[in-house]
Structure 1
Amino acid sequence: MTAIISAVLFGLALLFALFGISLSIITAEVLMLAGLLCLALHLAGVGSGPVRVRGYSRRRPAR
């Protein structure tokens, strides 16, 4: 989910940069930083849903 949000933020940042749009505090740089934050959270595994573990948290070695 955070990857999708990141893509949307990067798209908005591109549009803001192309058309020179700046809304008081929201600029292309702010949107780009927010997109990078969402991308970093996605790569860290945040927002991927709960991890369900049955039994042991580690796999037993194969025999």
Structure 2
Amino acid sequence: MLAFVAAVLFVIAFVINATETSTETVFSPTSLMLAGLAFLAVHSAGVGSGWSSRGGGRGRRR
């Protein structure tokens, strides 16, 4: 899920850069790219990867 957020941020940054839209400092293509890279780093670290806290396969096996 975090990789999808990063991809959306990269697309927004690309569109802003390609159209040369004047934006505020917070939404510059560079800041959006850095936010996207941060989301990719968190995704690569395994956060939000779908692990469940119920133990998954630790139940009784037949």
TM-score calculated relative to the size of structure 1: 0.74
* Root mean square deviation of aligned Cα: 1.6
List aligned pairs for 1:51-62, cutoff 5 A: 51=52, 52=55, 54=58
Question: Offset of 1:48 from its aligned partner?
Answer: 1.3
Matched residues, number: 55
Relative contact order, higher structure (CA 8 A, sep 6+)? 2
Sequence identity of aligned pairs in percent? Answer: 45
What is the DSSP-based 3-state SS (H/G/I as helix, E as strand, rest coil) of the residue aligned with 2:51? Answer: coil
Q: Any gaps of 5 or more consecutive residues in structure 2?
A: none
Question: Offset of 1:18 from its aligned partner?
Answer: 0.4
Report the equivalent of 1:31.
32
Conservation of the 8 A alpha-carbon contact between 1:21 and 1:27: no
Q: Any gaps of 5 or more consecutive residues in structure 1?
A: 56-63
List aligned pairs for 1:30-49, cutoff 5 A: 30-49=31-50
Q: Which has the larger radius of gyration?
A: 1
TM-score calculated relative to the size of structure 2: 0.76
